[in-house]
């Protein structure tokens, strides 16, 4: 059954903004209806991240995400959640060209999903895009530090904040995102002390991933967090479960029972004696 995603019951982007310096904000990615259902009671914010391109679609980077892909998964997460603030990533190529392009893409995402906000990567270079979207009443979450959409330009996933020049650039990015009107900003793959400094430097919440416990909130990719990721797990991830093992064990037991004809058993078939018409 689809849950009623009443706007009145949801945490809003403004609610998240007001959490600066308070109880840490709990965030996770979600891409599907059942995962959204399971996570919604426990989190403040669900991010429909462009990491879906890698996690569910098998692309080597997030550059495989499209606007249509993000909207489809955003719709699923909105159907499955009722309380969390839902933010949908703007995929690479949907906002960089101009403020007008960014606004058009953001309007489409919000219009077709009903999500509470969009997220885009970039600092000083993308401030005008953030401002254009915010001016039209659409909340924006920023994303600075390691930016996965720039992996090809950067020559890989490189940790930020190792040099004074880079620290200065990060501070400028944080200031630009804040001044453009973002309600929060993800800080990814950044040296711990620098991420903490960024958090204290700006007045909007920072959401860390591979950053610092001093950030105003934390986010992880759900597949990483529950131990279902089949490729390399990043250093900053803590696995809270081992679903790889659970799934492999279940599949092995199922295969054995099918091959031995133990499944389906009497409880899993329909007979006249059962008297049941429902599946």
Per-residue pLDDT tens for 187-223? 999 999 999 999 999 999 999 999 999 999 999 999 9
Q: Are residues 132 and 227 in the same domain?
A: yes
Which of 38-52, 75-89, 125-139, 264-278 shows the lowest per-residue confidence on average (mean pLDDT)?
264-278
Average pLDDT along the chain: 95
Alpha helices by DSSP H, 18-98: 33-39, 52-55, 67-80
User: Rounded distance, CA 208 to CA 145, Å?
Assistant: 10
Q: Is residue 1 part of a domain?
A: no
Task: Name the helix (H) or strand (E) containing 17.
Answer: helix 13-17
The set of residues, in sequence order, having a beta carbon less than 8 Å from that of 253 and lying 6+ positions away, is none
β partners of residue 27? 45, 219
Mean pLDDT (whole number) for 17-25: 98
Q: Are residues 42 and 103 in the same domain?
A: yes
User: Is 6 annotated as belonging to a binding site?
Assistant: no
User: Rounded distance, CA 152 to CA 42, Å?
Assistant: 35
User: Is 89 annotated as belonging to a binding site?
Assistant: yes
Q: Are residues 263 and 204 in the same domain?
A: no
Q: Are residues 265 and 220 in the same domain?
A: no
User: Rounded distance, CA 28 to CA 229, Å?
Assistant: 15
Question: Could you tell me what percentage of the chain is helix, strand and coil, using 3-state DSSP and rounding each to the nearest 5?
Answer: 45, 15, 45
User: Rounded distance, CA 66 to CA 53, Å?
Assistant: 8
Q: Is 260 exposed, middle or buried (0-12, 13-18, 19+ CB in 10 A)?
A: exposed
Residue 276's pLDDT is what? 61
Q: Are residues 49 and 186 in the same domain?
A: yes
Residue 127's pLDDT is what? 98
Q: What is the dihedral of CA 15, 18, 19, 21, to 10 degrees?
A: 170
Task: Provide the domain count of the chain.
Answer: 2
Q: Is residue 198 part of a domain?
A: yes
Q: What is the CA radius of gyration of the chain?
A: 21
Q: Are residues 247 and 157 in the same domain?
A: no
Q: What pTM did the predictor assign?
A: 0.94
Residue 8's pLDDT is what? 58
Q: Are residues 148 and 216 in the same domain?
A: yes
E-assigned strands of 180-216?
Answer: 184-188, 206-209
User: Rounded distance, CA 116 to CA 19, Å?
Assistant: 16
Q: Are residues 228 and 249 in the same domain?
A: no
- Residue 277 structural domain: 242-279
Residue 168's pLDDT is what? 98
Q: Are residues 203 and 278 in the same domain?
A: no
Q: Are residues 229 and 259 in the same domain?
A: no
Output phi, psi for 162, to 5 deg: -90, -20
Question: Residues with catalytic annotation?
Answer: 188
* Cis before 264? omega within 30: yes
Residue 74, domain CATH:
3.20.20.60
Residue 1's pLDDT is what? 32
User: Rounded distance, CA 106 to CA 118, Å?
Assistant: 7
Render the burial of 123-139: b for 16+ CB within 10 Å, e for the rest: bbebbebbbbbbeeebb
For residue 55, the SS3 value is: helix
User: Is 98 annotated as belonging to a binding site?
Assistant: no
User: Is 278 annotated as belonging to a binding site?
Assistant: no
Mean pLDDT (whole number) for 236-247: 97
Q: Is residue 63 part of a domain?
A: yes
User: Rounded distance, CA 47 to CA 222, Å?
Assistant: 10
Q: Given a cut of 50, is residue 2 above it in pLDDT?
A: no
Q: Is residue 215 part of a domain?
A: yes
Q: Are residues 279 and 221 in the same domain?
A: no
Q: Is residue 2 part of a domain?
A: no
User: Is 154 annotated as belonging to a binding site?
Assistant: no
Q: Are residues 115 and 96 in the same domain?
A: yes
State the pLDDT confidence band at 149, using cuts at 50, 70 and 90. very high
Q: Nearest-CA neighbor of 50 among 118, 100, 113?
A: 118
């Amino acid at each position: 059954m689809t849950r009623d995603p009443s706007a009145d019951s949801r945490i809003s982007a403004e609610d998240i903004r007001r959490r600066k310096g308070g109880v840490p904000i709990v965030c996770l990615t979600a891409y599907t209806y059942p995962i959204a259902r399971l996570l919604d009671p426990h989190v403040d914010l669900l991010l429909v991240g462009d990491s879906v391109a890698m996690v569910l679609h098998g692309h080597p980077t997030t550059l495989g995400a499209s606007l249509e892909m993000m909207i489809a998964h955003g719709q699923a997460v909105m159907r499955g959640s009722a309380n969390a603030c839902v933010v949908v990533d703007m995929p690479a190529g949907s906002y960089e060209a101009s403020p007008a392009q960014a606004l058009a893409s953001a309007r489409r995402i919000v219009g077709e999903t009903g999500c509470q906000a969009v997220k885009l990567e970039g600092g000083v270079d993308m401030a005008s895009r953030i401002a254009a979207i915010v001016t039209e009443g659409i909340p924006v979450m920023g994303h600075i530090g390691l930016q996965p959409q720039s992996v090809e330009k950067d020559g890989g996933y490189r940790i930020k904040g190792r040099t004074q020049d880079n620290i200065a650039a990060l501070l400028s990015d944080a200031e630009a995102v804040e001044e453009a009107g973002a309600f929060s900003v993800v800080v990814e793959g950044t040296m711990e002390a620098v991420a903490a400094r960024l958090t204290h430097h700006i007045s909007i919440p920072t959401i860390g991933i591979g950053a610092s416990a001093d950030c105003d909130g934390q986010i992880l990719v759900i597949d990483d967090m529950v131990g279902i990721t089949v490729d390399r797990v990043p250093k900053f991830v803590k696995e809270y479960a081992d679903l790889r093992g659970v799934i492999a064990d279940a599949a092995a037991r199922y295969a054995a029972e099918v091959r031995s004809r133990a499944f389906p058993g009497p409880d899993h078939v329909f007979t006249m004696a059962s008297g049941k018409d429902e599946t």
